[in-house]
DNA sequence: TCCGTTCGTGTAATCGTTTCCATATGCTGC
DNA sequence: GCAGCATATGGAAACGATTACACGAACGGA
């Protein structure tokens, strides 16, 4: 493949000049400019980003480590991150941690070795030595969707506390009392926060949060199904199942359907995370929607700031309740 | 950040020796080995993949350009590609063409400049000069899911012909005659093939394929909705709507629901592409499932072969019909 | 004792860029 | 006619790794 030297030879100038026109430095004659462009064209020259990065210490690449690409929430997050990064002239390399700490580590190692200019991480449960190194080394890093306790790293995430309160209130207004919650992993900030918000909301609405009505899953479909099954097997099963993310809601839905139960008459269902197809199931599922695109965009903006060594604040965006029919019809309707 | 020189100094050996232990070359003493490892540990040294790539002419990186990350089909494709690549020691950079040729071009340019070792492309409609260059230059390239006519590039894709025949047969057995097809872009191989298969299947089953019952969308939700609306507005609307991909099926579903029509009594629905939530809508949607994971895995295997300059054959895997209830109940049930 | 191997190591060239510095050229103003 | 300056250009040194090559030491067999 043609290199910059070939271009220089073909154009009859030095490599320095070629480099200058390619980076459109002002100090180059119009004549040289045209000759170089012609040569580039003729030789189908493509600058070698590897060599460039070596010299400039910048790859114009961002790393993004997400929990699970098959989870629609992360898919829209990834999409938004990519769009915003592209607009700023950056390429993003996505790593799929699959919610496994060792795979997350694999990707931070790989991305660090590839010398990405900055790293966006949706941290999995554990705080691994590697990410610790990473923050110590002070490489540009921002957490997305989730945070890790005790680490001084800016984060961009949604807060569902208010929406969860509204949801519990909505459910109570519908006349239900026994609400069960399929929570996320205790180690994940999102898991903890949602559980806490749920418990608070129950109390605030004068509802009893029974211990057997709260169980932690792992944000994957199978765990949602298993936990829903256990809830339903209880001597006094809940009237409502609230799933901590869309995948676990899918699992719960599976289990409810498999038992031939009707929603919301036999058991009602609600979910954290809103996804496109929720409106298409029968009945449409009441859910809490996170501003995923906005989170993605804000995260890369924050990261770019950090890359330029500007201080950045964490950002927290509110999630919002979208009421559909899976918990029952409201009276006014 | 510590470089190989620092490690060498700290260990009291030359950079060559450090490099040798890092690449575990056999010709190095046990003593040097331990000293180097200690130094690596102490300095938290991370090899610079950029420099390494410059020297070795290999990035151990694969590029993947997909149509739309928000389309679950591409999401599972991407996931499978990433898994298989990681197992082989490669990182993959995903480019989201968003079905736009210019954005596809943006990514092939970027990935080429980053000197990826190989490229996996799900080509959008047009055959752009850039991908043409790409095949001429002979860089390792394989098409995934779709092909481009007249280009000698190996491809890995699914063939739905057989499944479409079975679907039309199934629908006919249910007593329907008027089937409409929301086709994909004529310029996409997947679009063309599915349309052709549909037309053939109609003929083979003695059904009339009316011209007004076939219209091409762009594989996105909105077009599915619009076309479904036009079908439903026809003086004699179809009894069945068959969508050429899952997003257009979603659009059609929207439109059907918006009109308060019941499935399958007022109008039946079927889709190419099977996605997880199809089983959860009411009624569950009959669909043609593509072996997406398998496609992804086979594609990277093929690409790795090409990278090693071994000849590869195109692979075609059959899609399969999964009958649910959106076209009506079968008599035997 | 000496030659030929083997083994471990170090020196230095190299990959394709960017960029600092020096230099050549032409022009202005005295 | 020449100092002073701006402008365009080229030469060459980085960047951080890999690796061909050479070299010295140790060792065995003659």
> In chain A, what residues touch B50 (CB-CB under 8 Å)?
50, 53-54, 59, 114-115
Which regions of chain B are under pLDDT 50?
333
CA to C1' distance (Å), from A147 to C2: 72
Separation CA A213–CA B29 (nearest Å):
61
Q: Give me the residues near strand C, CB below 7 A.
A: A 3-5, 15-16, 19-20, 22-23, 45, 47-48, 51-52, 54-56; B 12-17, 20, 26-29, 31-32, 51, 54-55, 57
How many CA atoms within 13 Å lie on the side-chain side of A292?
21
Number of Cβ within 10 Å of residue A229's Cβ equals 16
Tell which of A91, A116, A256, A293 to mutate to test the B interface (max B CBs under 10 Å): A91
Separation CA B57–CA B298 (nearest Å):
25
Instruction: For residue A281, give how far its alpha carbon lies from the nearest alpha carbon of chain B (Å).
Output: 4
Distance of CA A157 to the CA centre of its chain: 9
Instruction: For residue A92, give how far its alpha carbon lies from the nearest alpha carbon of chain B (Å).
Output: 7
Which secondary-structure segment (H or E) carries A95? strand A91-96
Separation CA A12–CA A18 (nearest Å):
10
Separation CA B290–CA B190 (nearest Å):
12
> In chain B, what residues touch A110 (CB-CB under 8 Å)?
91
Predicted local distance difference test score (pLDDT) of residue A132: 81
Strand D bases with any atom < 7 A from protein Cβ = 7-12, 14-20
Separation CA B263–CA B253 (nearest Å):
9
Asked whether residue B3, judged by its CB, lies under 7 Å from any atom of the DNA or RNA strand D, the reply is yes
In chain A, domain spans: 4-47, 59-158+292-318, 160-290
Do residues B213 and B179 lie in contact, with contact meaning Cβ atoms separated by under 8 Å? yes
**CATH class of the A160-290 domain in this structure:** alpha beta
Do residues B231 and B266 lie in contact, with contact meaning Cβ atoms separated by under 8 Å? no
CATH topology of domain B4-47: 434 Repressor (Amino-terminal Domain) (1.10.260)
Nearest to A70 among B48, B51, B79 (CB): B79
Predicted local distance difference test score (pLDDT) of residue A94: 96
Asked whether residue A113, judged by its CB, lies under 7 Å from any atom of the DNA or RNA strand D, the reply is no
Predicted local distance difference test score (pLDDT) of residue A330: 65
Separation CA B194–CA B240 (nearest Å):
16
Find the largest Cα–Cα distance for chain A: 87
How do B214-216 and B141-144 pair as beta strands?
Answer: unpaired
Asked whether residue A58, judged by its CB, lies under 7 Å from any atom of the DNA or RNA strand D, the reply is no
> In chain A, what residues touch B253 (CB-CB under 8 Å)?
280
Ordered per-residue pLDDT tens for chain A, 333 residues: 899 999 999 999 999 999 999 998 888 999 999 999 999 999 999 999 999 999 999 999 999 999 999 999 999 999 999 999 999 999 999 999 998 999 999 999 999 999 999 999 999 877 788 888 888 888 899 999 999 888 889 999 999 999 999 999 999 999 999 999 999 998 899 999 999 999 999 999 999 999 999 999 999 999 999 999 999 999 999 999 999 999 999 999 999 999 999 999 999 999 999 998 898 888 899 999 999 999 999 999 999 999 999 999 999 999 999 999 999 976 554
Task: Report which DSSP code applies to A259.
Answer: T
Does A160-290 match A59-158+292-318 at the fold level? yes
For residue A78, give the nearest of A293, A316, A283 by alpha carbon: A293
Instruction: For residue A48, give how far its alpha carbon lies from the nearest alpha carbon of chain B (Å).
Output: 5
Distance of CA B88 to the CA centre of its chain: 19
CB contact under 8 A, A277 and B250: yes
**For residues B126, B127, B129 and B133, what is the CA-based torsion angle, rounded to 10 degrees?**
150
For residue B194, give the nearest of B175, B231, B223, B168 by alpha carbon: B168
Predicted local distance difference test score (pLDDT) of residue B242: 98
**Which CATH architecture does the domain made up of B159-290 adopt?**
3-Layer(aba) Sandwich (3.40)
Predicted local distance difference test score (pLDDT) of residue B133: 80
Give the burial string for A158-175 (b: 16+ CB within 10 Å, else e). bebbebbbbbbebbbebe
Instruction: For residue B118, give how far its alpha carbon lies from the nearest alpha carbon of chain A (Å).
Output: 15
Which secondary-structure segment (H or E) carries B203? helix B189-204
Q: Which nucleotide is nearest to A56 (CA to C1')?
A: C18
Instruction: For residue A208, give how far its alpha carbon lies from the nearest alpha carbon of chain B (Å).
Output: 31
Which secondary-structure segment (H or E) carries A162? helix A161-173
Choose which CATH entry (3.40.190.10, 3.40.50.720, 3.40.605.10, 3.40.50.2300) describes domain B60-157+292-317.
Answer: 3.40.50.2300
Predicted local distance difference test score (pLDDT) of residue B331: 53
Look at residue A187 and give its three-state secondary structure.
coil
Predicted local distance difference test score (pLDDT) of residue B125: 75
CB contact under 8 A, B72 and A72: yes
The CATH number assigned to the domain with range A59-158+292-318 reads 3.40.50.2300
CA to C1' distance (Å), from A140 to D13: 30
CB pairs under 8 A between A and B: 103
For residue A45, give the nearest of A36, A53, A54 by alpha carbon: A36
Query: Which residues of A sit within 8 Å Cβ distance of B?
Result: 1, 44, 46-51, 53-54, 59, 61, 69-70, 72, 75-76, 78-79, 82-83, 86, 91, 93-94, 96, 106, 109-110, 112-115, 133, 137, 250, 253-254, 257, 276-277, 280-282
> Sign of torsion, CA A319 A324 A327 A330?
positive
Give the burial string for A260-292 (b: 16+ CB within 10 Å, else e). eeebbeebbbbbbbbbebbbbbebbbbbbbbeb
């Amino acid at each position: 493949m043609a290199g910059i030297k070939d271009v220089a030879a073909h154009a009859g100038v030095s490599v320095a000049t070629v480099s200058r026109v390619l980076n459109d430095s002002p100090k180059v004659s119009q004549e040289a400019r045209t000759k170089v462009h012609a040569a580039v064209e003729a030789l189908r020259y493509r600058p070698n980003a590897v060599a460039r990065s070596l010299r400039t210490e910048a790859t114009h690449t961002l790393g993004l480590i997400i929990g699970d690409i098959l989870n629609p929430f992360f898919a829209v997050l990834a999409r938004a991150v990519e769009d915003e990064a592209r607009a700023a002239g950056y390429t993003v390399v996505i790593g799929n941690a699959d919610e496994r700490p060792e795979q997350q580590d694999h990707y931070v190692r790989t991305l660090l070795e590839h010398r990405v200019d900055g790293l966006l991480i949706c941290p999995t449960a554990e705080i691994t030595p590697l990410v610790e190194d990473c923050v110590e080394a002070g490489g540009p890093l921002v957490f997305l969707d989730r945070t890790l306790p005790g680490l001084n790293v800016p984060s961009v995430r949604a807060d569902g506390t208010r929406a969860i309160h509204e949801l519990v209130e909505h459910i109570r207004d519908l006349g239900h009392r026994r609400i069960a919650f399929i929570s996320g992993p205790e180690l994940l900030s999102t898991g903890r926060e949602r559980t806490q918000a749920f418990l608070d909301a129950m109390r605030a609405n004068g509802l009893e949060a029974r211990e057997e009505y709260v169980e932690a899953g792992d944000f994957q479909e199978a765990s949602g199904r298993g936990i829903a099954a256990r809830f339903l097997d209880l001597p006094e099963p809940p009237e409502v199942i609230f799933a901590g993310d869309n995948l676990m809601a899918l699992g719960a839905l599976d289990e409810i359907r498999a038992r031939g139960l009707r929603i919301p008459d036999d058991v009602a269902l609600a979910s954290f995370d809103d996804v496109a197809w929720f409106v298409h199931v029968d009945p449409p599922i009441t859910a809490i929607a996170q501003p995923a695109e906005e989170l993605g965009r804000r995260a890369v903006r924050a990261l770019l700031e950090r890359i330029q060594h500007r201080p950045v604040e964490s950002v927290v965006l509110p999630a919002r309740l979208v009421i559909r029919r899976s918990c029952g019809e409201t009276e006014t309707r």
